[in-house]
Amino acid sequence: MKNLSAHLPVSRRWLKATGGLFASGVLALAALHAANSPSKPSVSLQFDNKPVNRETLEPASFSKVAKQVSPSVVTVTVEAKARQQRVSRSDEFFGGNDEFFRRFFGLPGQGRIPMQREPAQRGLGSGVIVSSDGYIVTNNHVVEGADRVLVTLQGNRNVKATVIGRDPQTDIAVIKIEGKNYPAIKFADSNNVEVGDRVLAVGNPFGIGETVTTGIVSATGRRAGIGLAYENFIQTDAAINPGNSGGALVDIDGRLIGINTAILTRTGGFQGVGLAVPSVMVRHVVDSLVQNGKVIRSYIGAGVQDLTPDLADSFGLENNLGAVITDVQPNTPAAKAGLKSGDVVLRLDETPVANASGLSFAVSLLKPGTKIKLEILRGGKKQTLTATTAQRPDRYGVNNGGLRGSDDEGENFSSSDVGVLNGVAVTDIDPASRRQLNIPKRIQGALITEVDPDSASARAGLKAGDVILEINQQPVTSAEDAVRLSEEATEKKTLVRLWSNGGTIFAVVDETEEDTSSE
């Protein structure tokens, strides 16, 4: 094992791991939405994409909007048969100890349920009628594991529903009831929603009956880290409680801008942070589920990461708008287009790229086989590449394992005090560690085996099990390379590329503020 910090003073300098994502973020780009719309939609949805009138004074009453929307919002009742082992179910609306209740509504866990026969379960959620022939949108976590689904329409009429398809990656599901002339809601374009817009949430909290609450849009493009692959929520302070899941978030014109999905809370009750899946995403998921039984998404096969201010500075950018390519998978559209790690994508066709999730989500909405133009920054110069999207495989190879630093004897390296990555212990990747950490064969570099817990690196998130791939855009294929490049680096800010948690990220080592004096 090589040690990059053997002779470093007590105050050490270390690398920062920024926690980027592997091409799975979600921020809608309005200019690309039209490219996603199929010529023959499988569900006849009603659209009104005009922005809401923001010059109108707020009315004294929202009763007109409530009367308009309420017939389109339904109660969804689910039943699950008795089972021998614990399953995901939707009894969260009654405060049980189901893991989805804790996940989406923040109740404290009750501990793991032992393997035993469970009684039949019932749960309540909400749904929104989106077509006159009976298609209804709700949340995946409402109907997942259900053996029977009932829909209660306005007037307390119960109708049996069939689950058409579920998309756990966005927490959207489509169910259907037989019949015609149902009061379908009209969709607005959620890309036109702005912070401060007045909104109403309609649903069935706690099973007490249809309820309307009001608030404003608190944020858009919100990522909440609740475990979904695609998070691009509209955040609102309109009260959302257990049972509102799958209900409607509408603008003051009564048009659907989102499906209420989750709240962030420390108490289990509403604390002012509600999250809704935006209508742009809902439209795409609904159409794909009805047409294909699953969601067909495009991809180009490149890992992307947000530009932090430090990364933007390292790439010579004046701001942190854009997405940096962290990894290019072999034989993918990105590889064929000539994309390379370290490229910064600034525009997708004619639309500026705000961040990594915006780029990823915009690509995912396109039809496979769509040609796109990517304006990139490479080596300080702009250029344009053309790629053709492909259908994204149904797999997510995320590795959460970690390798602790070992006490085995190995070759030690004594760095000079002017080097970088001091204190990081590295070794070559051997077959055993490759198997243990599920490191792909194509990944070559220096395996980090130990990180001082009191160091700046540990505070920044660098951990054992990460693989150093590049230092200052110079390839690292072995521990010896990492040692040599760390010695050669003279700047206090160092750009490092890592393989971490199954994906590839960039990080900036900033040693300018570290105290290098010894005790």
Q: Which residues are catalytic?
A: 141, 171, 245
Cα separation, 28 vs 519, whole angstroms: 52
Cα end-to-end distance, the chain, whole Å: 27
Cα separation, 120 vs 140, whole angstroms: 19
From the list 508, 506, 327, 500, the residue with the least C-alpha distance to 402 is 500
**Within 10 Å of residue 390's Cβ, how many Cβ atoms?**
17
Cα separation, 50 vs 64, whole angstroms: 19
CA distances from 244 to 104, 240, 328 (A): 11, 6, 41
Give 167-170's long-range contacts (Cβ < 8 A, gap of 24+).
167/140, 167/285, 167/289, 167/294, 167/295, 168/140, 168/144, 168/228, 168/229, 169/228, 169/229, 169/230, 169/295, 170/26, 170/140, 170/228, 170/229, 170/230, 170/277, 170/281, 170/285, 170/295
CA distances from 382 to 151, 316, 374, 378, 484 (A): 54, 12, 10, 6, 31
**Amino acid present at 107:** L
In three state form, how does the secondary structure of 358-427 look? HHHHHHHCCCCCCEEEEEEEECCEEEEEEEECEECCCCCCCCCCCCCCCCCCCCCCCCCCCCCCCCCEEE
Angle at CA of residue 37, ends 66 and 138, nearest 5°: 40
* Residues linked to residue 3 through DSSP beta bridges, in sequence order: 425
